[in-house]
Structure 1
Amino acid sequence: NLDRQLELLSNCDKIFSDKASGKDTNREGFQEMMKFIREGDIVVVTELKRLGRNNKELTETMNLIQLKKATLEVLNLPALTGITDDNLRRLLNNLIIELYKYQAEEERRYIRETQQQGIKLAKQKGRYTGGKRKYSENDPRLQLGFKLLLEGATDK
């Protein structure tokens, strides 16, 4: 729920938000945030899965934040402030983050799996027709595209 997250982030100087799922990084608010990050910034997210839902993208995002010399703070991760040994704290923090990345990816996989099961069941019952098609066979834009392609046109 976006309102819940906004409440948790109310003490932050700047808030970026997306209504879309965190399943990919091609979201306007996410892209805006990544461009905005400056050295010394603290990037605060309510949950790790707000940054992405697969291990590869999460790792890339976290590395990018680190490259920009910013810090990532995840509100639902345990605080390790009582550990005075920097190396141990960093090790434990990385371990916890890896576990949460795995959990986020598995959650996304489970959502896709149950969605596919629901679609299969709906198809068997004749209640699923799929999404609305963007183009019909007779769409003039599609016909023009094929004509140009056959004539050797390229997109460059």
Structure 2
Amino acid sequence: MKVGYARTSTFDQIAGLEAQHRLLEETGCTQIFSEQVSSVGERAQFQNALDFVRQGDVLIVTRLDRLARSTSDLLGILAVLEDKQTGLHILDFGGSEMDTHSPTGKLMLTMFGALAQFERELMLVRQREGIERAKAAGKYRGRVPTARRRLPEMLELAQKGLTPPEIANRLQVSRASVYRLLKDERS
């Protein structure tokens, strides 16, 4: 049986999730597990997919970055799949496909996993360095506090008798922010 797994990091990536579903269906996946969660968060549907696969099945993902967070994570996933005598197939692996049924496929996957993790770590270092340079130059201020900008609207809605949860829902800010800002304003 071909079992697919699709993942995007955020809820705004609907098109990406739909594209993954389409590819997995075209590949013949009869069961697809999908979720919209960061790779560092708990991936319940991925765990369900690992629990679901049986001997002789093939877990199929569209790209390596949809599967593993790091080389150690990748090796752990490969170990679970190997214990279950289940294969792994990656559809887009740098222009070609990757299948772990062979020792060469396993070797290549491990090497590419290590390189992907290395590149991600380099990118994070470059990002931190860029932020530090921008801060030193006075060009980086960080994220503008969204809820505080909406304080006049919060006060107006509170005067109309809306409760903090109703205000939070209407303005699309957290309830905690509404409670905190209204309390600070009253003090």
Per the normalisation by structure 1, the TM-score is: 0.65
Structure 2 unaligned segments of length 5 or more: list them.
Answer: 1-15, 147-175, 181-187
> Which residue pairs with 2:76 in the alignment?
60
Aligned with 1:6 (options 14, 21, 40): 21
Greater fraction strand: 2
1:1-156 map, 5 Å? 1-10=16-25, 11-22=28-39, 24=40, 26-77=42-93, 78=96, 90-124=102-136, 125=138, 126-128=140-142
- Whole-angstrom distance in 2 between the partners of 1:14 and 1:50: 17
How well do the aligned residues superpose, as a CA RMSD in angstroms?
3.2
How far residue 16 of structure 1 moved from its aligned partner, in angstroms, is 1.3
Please identify, of 103-112 and 114-123, the stretch whose mean Cα deviation from structure 2 is larger. 114-123
Structure 1 residues 108 and 48, CA, compared in 2 at 3 Å: closer, same or farther?
same
Show structure 1 runs of 4+ deviating over 3 A.
77-81, 121-124, 129-132
Return the alpha-carbon distance in structure 2 between the equivalents of residues 7 and 130 of structure 1.
38
Structure of greater Rg: 2
Kindly indicate whether structure 1 or structure 2 has the higher relative contact order, using CA contacts under 8 Å at least 6 residues apart: 1
Separation in structure 2 between the aligned mates of residue 108 and residue 59 of structure 1, nearest angstrom: 17
Q: Cα deviations across residues 104-139 of structure 1 (Å, max 9, x unaligned)?
A: 21232134224323443454425126999xx9xxx9
Aligned partner letter, 1:109: E
CA separation in 2, counterparts of 1:130 and 1:61?
A: 39
| Percent identity over paired residues | 29
TM-score (norm 2): 0.55
Contact 1:45 1:73 survives alignment (8 Å): yes
**By how many angstroms is 1:67 displaced?**
0.7
Judged with a 3 Å threshold, the aligned counterparts in structure 2 of structure 1 residues 118 and 3 are, in CA distance, closer, same or farther, namely: farther
Distance 1:121 1:98 in 2: 35
